[in-house]
Amino acid sequence: MKLFIYFSILLSFVSCAVNQSIGLTMPDQQNGNISSESNNKIINQAGQNSTIENFKITNDLKPISLNVNVIVLRRDNKSQTNFDLKNTEEKQLLIDYFDKMNTYWNNFKNPSDLTGCYTGTDFYPDSKIRFKFNYIELVDSYAWNYMNSGADLSAKKYNGLSPSESWYLSDLDKKLAADPSIPKGVFLYLTMEGRNFDELNKAKGKGFHLNGIEASQFPSSTNLERTSSVNIPNRYLKYLWHRYQAPIDHKTSWSETRNWHLGDAIGTAHELGHTLGLSHNNQYHGANKCQYSIMSQAAGHARNYLQPTEVLKAHKNLRESNLIQFVTEDSFLGNTFSINKSEIWSKKQRFYSNLKLEDNVVLTISEPVILAPQAKVIFGKNAKIIFTKNGKLIQPNNVEFSNFVNKTATSITKS
C-alpha cells in the first residue's frame, strides 16, 4: 500500500542499475526548469587548441552523436504487446520521450550552490553529446519478457535485469550487433513484465504498480568490440496507465498525464549517463550526494546538472571504450588536440578532433587510430608518425585517413 501511495504522489518509480548492482530510487519528476539561458554565459573561446589531457568543452564545439537503437520488443505478431510504431500517437510519444534525452544532456543548469558536489567554478551548459535514436520493432517472445532474466519486479527481485555479457539477452546483443541492417549503436530494449501483461493490457493499465527499475551497462575499455545495452522495462504498460487510468484517478486529461509520462524520461537520461561510464559517485562526492547531478538517484533531487569532470569522463569513454563503435561516422567536435611530447599510442582509440604534432614530436602508433573524415593531422617541423604492429590512421568506415597538413616525405614511416 505504501508503494501505491508513493506511486500516486510521484507518478512513477524510476530506478537504475549498473552492471550487477541495482538501487531503488524515486526521482524528482519536476523537470520543467530546464533553461537554455545559461548557453549565453559560456566562457571559453572558439577554436582553441588543447592537449588531450587538458581538453575543455567550449561553446564552438560541434556535438558528436551516439547511435542508440531502441528495440521495441513484441511477444508475437498477433496482438499489440508494446508500442506500435505505426500508431501515430504512440510513435510520437516515443519520439518525444527519447528527444528529452537530448534536452537533458544539452541544457544543464548551473547550480547556485555546489555544496556537496564539486569545488570547481567551471560549468558546461551542453555536454556536446547527442543521442541519435533509431526505432526497431522486433518479435521475440523470450526477449520481450524480462522475467526470463530471473528478475521479478513485483517481488523486488532485480537479479538478471542488468545488461551484462552474461545476461538473458547476451545472444540477442550479439545477433543484432552482427546484423548489417541495424546501425552500429547502443541497444536500448523496451522489455515487458510477461506474467501480468495480458491482465494489465486488458485493463488499460488499471492496477499497474510495478517499480520502474531501469538498468544500464558500463562501457568497456578492454573489449572494444563489446556491445552496450540498456534495459527499460514496462514503458508501454506505464503508457497505458498514463493514457487511460491516470486521467480518471487524478481527474485530469491525457494532455496532462502525457507530460507525466515524459517526466519519466529523466530516469532514462540518467541510464544513458551509465552507458557513457558515469556513476552515482565520483572523485568529488559520494553516491547521490550531489543533489543537482543527473547521476543522482535520490528522491527530490533536481538532476539537471552534470559537473564538468563527468562530462569530460564521458568524452574520454567516447574516445577510448567500446563506445567508439557507436558514434556516428561524421561526428566531429572541430577542435584541435596538440601533441606536444613524443608518445607511444598502443591502444585503439577514436578522435573527433584534429591532431597537431608539435615540432620535433614523434608519435609511435601500434594500434588503429580512428579519425573523423573532416579531421586533419597537422605536422610541426620535424614531427613524425611511426606506425608499428597494427598501427594505422583510418576513418570510421575503415578507409585510410589521408588529410595531412605539412606532411613531408619523412613525416610518416612504418617499422
16 vs 355 by CB, closer to Zn ion: 16
Min dist CB 280 to Zn ion, Å, is: 6
Min dist CB 161 to Zn ion, Å, is: 13
Judged by CB under 5 A, does residue 192 bind Zn ion?
no
Q: Beta strand 229-233 with 213-216: parallel, antiparallel or unpaired?
A: antiparallel
16 vs 172 by CB, closer to Zn ion: 16
- How many positions of this chain bind Zn ion (CB under 5 A)? 1
Specify the amino acid at residue 45: Q
Q: Which residues pair with 21 in a beta bridge?
A: 18
Min dist CB 5 to Zn ion, Å, is: 24
The one segment of 9-17, 225-233, 250-258, 366-374 that binds Zn ion by CB under 5 A: 9-17
The one segment of 8-16, 121-129, 149-157, 319-327 that binds Zn ion by CB under 5 A: 8-16
Judged by CB under 5 A, does residue 16 bind Zn ion?
yes
Min dist CB 319 to Zn ion, Å, is: 23
Task: Say how far apart CA 73 and CA 172 lie, in whole Å.
Answer: 11
Q: Beta strand 354-357 with 229-233: parallel, antiparallel or unpaired?
A: unpaired
Instruction: State how far Cα 77 lies from the chain centre.
Output: 30
Determine the Cα angle at 166 with ends 162 and 168, to 5°.
65
Written as nine digits, the cell of 403 is 588529410
Residue 254 CB-density burial (10 A; 0-12 exposed, 13-18 middle, 19+ buried): middle
Min dist CB 274 to Zn ion, Å, is: 6
Q: Which residues pair with 298 in a beta bridge?
A: none
Min dist CB 308 to Zn ion, Å, is: 20
16 vs 383 by CB, closer to Zn ion: 16
273 vs 391 by CB, closer to Zn ion: 273
23 vs 308 by CB, closer to Zn ion: 23
**Closest-CB residue for Zn ion?**
16
The one segment of 14-22, 85-93, 135-143, 227-235 that binds Zn ion by CB under 5 A: 14-22
Instruction: Confirm if 412 and 384 have CB atoms less than 8 A apart.
Output: yes
Min dist CB 146 to Zn ion, Å, is: 17
Judged by CB under 5 A, does residue 161 bind Zn ion?
no
Min dist CB 216 to Zn ion, Å, is: 7
Helix 88-106 and helix 265-275, axial crossing angle in degrees, nearest 10: 60
16 vs 161 by CB, closer to Zn ion: 16
227 vs 275 by CB, closer to Zn ion: 275
Min dist CB 115 to Zn ion, Å, is: 22
Determine the Cα angle at 393 with ends 390 and 397, to 5°.
105
Q: What is the DSSP letter of 114?
A: -
SS3 190: strand
16 vs 276 by CB, closer to Zn ion: 16
Written as nine digits, the cell of 325 is 563503435
Task: Say how far apart CA 299 and CA 85 lie, in whole Å.
Answer: 33
278 vs 318 by CB, closer to Zn ion: 278
83: left (phi over 0), alpha (psi -120 to 50) or beta: beta
The one segment of 13-21, 61-69, 157-165, 340-348 that binds Zn ion by CB under 5 A: 13-21
Q: Where are the alpha helices (DSSP H) in 159-234?
A: 170-177, 197-202
The one segment of 15-23, 173-181, 245-253, 256-264 that binds Zn ion by CB under 5 A: 15-23
Which chain residues interact with Zn ion by CB under 5 A?
16
